[in-house]
Amino acid sequence: MNLINLDIKMLRSLHTVAETGNITETARRLGRTQPAITLQLQRLDEICGSNLFRNDGRRMVLTPDGTLVLSYAKSILRLHDELLSRLASPDIEGQVILGTPDLYASFLLPSILALFRRAFPRVQVQLQCSLSTPLVHLVHKGEVDVALVTRMNDFSGGQIVRQEQLVWLTGDHSDAHMENPVPLALLPPGNIYRDHAIDALESAQHNWRIACVSESVSGLQAAVFSGMAVTVLGRSAKVPGLREIGTGTDFPALPKVDLLLYKAPGTKSAAANALHEYLAHYLGIEQEVGQPPEIRSVSS
């Protein structure tokens, strides 16, 4: 492999096609022409000596070699972008209020925020955990600078930065999913996770009852760990002690939900803008493999 011919634009095109599954959307996102993206992928195939994508219907999917190259490309892009952030904005400082449900604070954001702190050591991030609906109101009022939330049916605006696959979860040694009616641990009314869970069971004519209502993911986990209930969460929240219930007639497949990133209207805070851009970038990078960026020690 002639590594000297690899460049950042090629790797970013590879990553974006892996995420979008097609050349057209990749060109739109990267602000380039479709022929330019196609040429970059062809050149990357030549350098690697193998095809990195195959066609699956109308979607382009990675080959095994493509998956390998993407894993390295993600690391290279992360370090490249982090270096540019440090070089371009060494003096950005200030405080940013970041609002998000505790589900995402626990499972999606820690590694990204650690990288952000290294890139912007003079920015103080204040984390405010709450449900998505009140957070959207707060960010529109300017009381929260940046918000990462679950898209609800009545939400407008925001940038889709990720999709979470909803799954049925029970405890490792629990048989709660075998009970009739099935006991559920759910977020409060008005939450789309709850709505999808109930709608799926109703469509399957599967009896259910509420065993736990909690605004916090820790409350839902406690009910599931103890064997009291089944819950519905994003797959990223599947931790040791939880197991995914296979979908079928009793537990129908659940949809994906959109994660929206908001920024307070009219904000001129360089710190808030930096955090917003960082989250948008890294949440998009994570989407393809569903894993957070790797944290490595960096010598000072």
Q: What is the pLDDT of residues 105-160, one digit of tens each?
A: 988 888 788 888 888 888 999 999 999 999 999 999 999 999 999 998 888 888 88
Please tell me if the domain spanning 93-161+258-287 has the same topology as the one spanning 163-256.
yes
What value does the mean pLDDT take over residues 85-96? 77
Q: What is the pLDDT of residues 274-289, one digit of tens each?
A: 899 889 887 875 443 3
DSSP string computed for the chain: --GGG--HHHHHHHHHHHHHSSHHHHHHHHT--HHHHHHHHHHHHHHHTS-SEEEETTEEEE-HHHHHHHHHHHHHHHHHHHHHHHHH-TT--EEEEEEE-HHHHHHTSHHHHHHHHHH-TTEEEEEEE--HHHHHHHHHHTSSSEEEEEPPTT--S-EEEEEEEEEEEEETT--GGGSSSEEEEEPPTT-HHHHHHHHHHHHTT--EEEEEE-SSHHHHHHHHHTTS-EEEEEGGG--TTEEEPPPSSSSPPP-EEEEEEEE-TT---HHHHHHHHHHHHHHHHHHTTT-PPPP-----
* Average pLDDT of the segment spanning 20-28: 84
- Assess contact for 139 and 263: CB atoms under 8 A: yes
Q: Rounded distance, CA 41 to CA 46, Å?
A: 9
Q: What is the band of 267 on the pLDDT scale with cuts at 50, 70, 90?
A: confident
Select the more confidently predicted residue: 300 or 258: 258
Percentage of the chain surpassing pLDDT 70? 91
Q: What is the mean pLDDT of the chain?
A: 86
* pLDDT value at 52 more than 80: yes
Q: Where are the domains positioned within the chain?
A: 3-87, 93-161+258-287, 163-256
Q: Where does the pLDDT of residue 194 fall: very low under 50, low under 70, confident under 90, or very high at 90 and above?
A: very high
Residue 299 above 60 pLDDT? Answer: no
Q: Which of 14-23, 103-112, 290-299 has the lowest mean pLDDT?
A: 290-299
Res 9: pLDDT: 85
93-161+258-287: CATH class: alpha beta
CATH number of 3-87: 1.10.10.10
**What does the pLDDT read at residue 163?**
86
pLDDT at 168 over 90: yes
pTM over 0.75: no
Q: Which tens digit of pLDDT belongs to each residue from 196-239?
A: 999 999 999 999 999 999 999 899 999 999 999 999 998 878 88
In the CATH scheme, what architecture does the domain 163-256 have? 3-Layer(aba) Sandwich (3.40)
pLDDT in tens, 28-42: 777 677 888 899 999
